[in-house]
Structure 1
Amino acid sequence: MASKHTPPTGRLLTVDQAAELLNTSVRYPRRLIEERRITFVKIGRHVRIPESALDEFITAGTVEPVRLRRGRAA
Structure 2
Amino acid sequence: MPITTDTQITDPHVLLDERDLSRSLKVSVRTVQAWRVKGGGPVFLKFNNRLVRYRPSDVDAWLASTAAANTSV
Q: After TM superposition, is the score higher than 0.5?
A: yes
Percent identical among aligned pairs is 23
Are 2:42 and 1:43 aligned?
Answer: no
TM-score by length of structure 2 reads 0.65
Are 2:33 and 1:23 aligned?
Answer: no
Following TM superposition, where does structure 1 have runs of at least 4 consecutive aligned residues deviating by more than 2 angstroms? none
Matched-pair contact (CA < 8 Å) for 1:15–1:29: yes
Question: Is the strand fraction higher in 1 or 2?
Answer: 1
Match of 2:35 among 17, 32, 36: 32
Question: Is the helix fraction higher in 1 or 2?
Answer: 2
Note the aligned Cα RMSD (angstroms).
Answer: 1.8
Aligned to 1:61: 66
Identify unmatched segments of 5+ residues in structure 2. Answer: 1-11
Identify unmatched segments of 5+ residues in structure 1. Answer: 1-8, 66-74
Give the letter aligned to residue 51 of structure 1. Answer: P
Q: Which structure: larger Rg? A: 1
